[in-house]
Amino acid sequence: DAGVTQSPTHLIKTRGQHVTLRCSPISGHKSVSWYQQVLGQGPQFIFQYYEKEERGRGNFPDRFSARQFPNYSSELNVNALLLGDSALYLCASSYGTLTDTQYFGPGTRLTVL
């Protein structure tokens, strides 16, 4: 069975640009969550989407937005990139809400120059 997939694997952007990251959950999973992980830290929760609606949001600015599509795949958008946005962005899927086991994708490594 295919696991969680994310694209692209690596991305280099410059300050002020916009980026879109993509995630496909495990087949049958209805929830997608996004996390930001900077080096040496644990993942920080950004969003959870369940059944195409936002169900939870972490302490991130409005420059961060996301959506979930009818096929349960998801996009994370970040506008007006800052150097501090450089991180590994992880997507996790679960069958239901955040109480369910989350399965992580390999992540997208974003570098902002």
The verdict on 86 binding another protein (CB under 8 A) reads no
Distances (CA, A) of 5 to 61, 63, 106: 25, 24, 7
Q: From the centroid of its chain, how far is CA 15? A: 20
Tokens of 68: 């979930």
Q: By C-alpha distance, which of 106, 65, 112 is closest to 85?
A: 112
Q: By C-alpha distance, which of 86, 82, 105, 112 is closest to 34?
A: 105
Site for another protein (CB under 8 A): which residue of 9, 97, 111, 113? 97
The verdict on 25 binding another protein (CB under 8 A) reads no
| Pair type for strands 108-112 and 10-13 | parallel
The verdict on 24 binding another protein (CB under 8 A) reads no
Q: Which stretch binds another protein (CB under 8 A): 7-15, 21-29, 35-43, 78-86?
A: 35-43
Site for another protein (CB under 8 A): which residue of 58, 64, 75, 86? 58
Site for another protein (CB under 8 A): which residue of 13, 52, 56, 75? 56
Q: Residues binding another protein: what is the number (CB under 8 A)?
A: 24
Q: Interface with another protein by CB under 8 A: which residues? A: 33, 35, 40-45, 48, 55-58, 90, 97-99, 101-107
